[in-house]
Amino acid sequence: TVRNDIRDERINIHCYSSEDDLGVHWLSYGTNFTWHFHVNFWGTTKFYCDFNTTKHGFGNYGVYTPNLRREECSTHCLWSVQENGPTRRNLLLGFSPSPTLLPSFDDGEEADD
């Protein structure tokens, strides 16, 4: 799930994996985009999202990767896009800081072409 937590701003997101393109979505403040999927047999499923904001920049982030699945997400990843960038919410521990909205990958891996 990706949530827009930037007041007075619509954000543009485009999420995809090597098998699925979830399309482009505009999120108003306080709204979510949620999708469901199954991890492949090898446990290598990855989802990336491009985040674009009007005032706060843009970036590409690994929102679901094997590392995040093991460490943070288990069955549900919740991302909050804020003024200083997207943050990952661990449902037990609260928010985990992530890079600011600059072109980068959260886990150091490049997106599949």
Residue 66 falls inside a structural domain: yes
Residue 99 falls inside a structural domain: no
The parent domain of residue 23 ranges over 2-89
Number of domains the chain is built from: 1
Percent of the chain at pLDDT above 70? Answer: 71
Residue 112 falls inside a structural domain: no
Average pLDDT for the chain:
77
Residue 55 falls inside a structural domain: yes
Using pLDDT thresholds of 50, 70 and 90, give the confidence band for residue 106: very low
Residue-wise pLDDT for 49-83, tens only, equals 998 887 888 888 888 887 766 566 666 778 888 88
Residue 103's pLDDT is what?
A: 36
Residue 78 falls inside a structural domain: yes
Select, from the ranges 26-30, 33-37, 66-70, the one with the highest average predicted confidence (pLDDT). Answer: 26-30
Strand order through the sheet with 32-33: 32-33, 2-4, 78-82, 85-90, 94-96
Residue 83 falls inside a structural domain: yes
User: Is the sign of the CA dihedral 81, 67, 76, 112 positive or negative?
Assistant: positive
Using pLDDT thresholds of 50, 70 and 90, give the confidence band for residue 91: low
Residue 74 falls inside a structural domain: yes
Residue 43 falls inside a structural domain: yes
* Backbone Cα Rg of the chain: 13
64, 77 contact by CB (below 8 A): yes
**Cα–Cα distance for residue pair 9/7, rounded to 1 Å:** 6
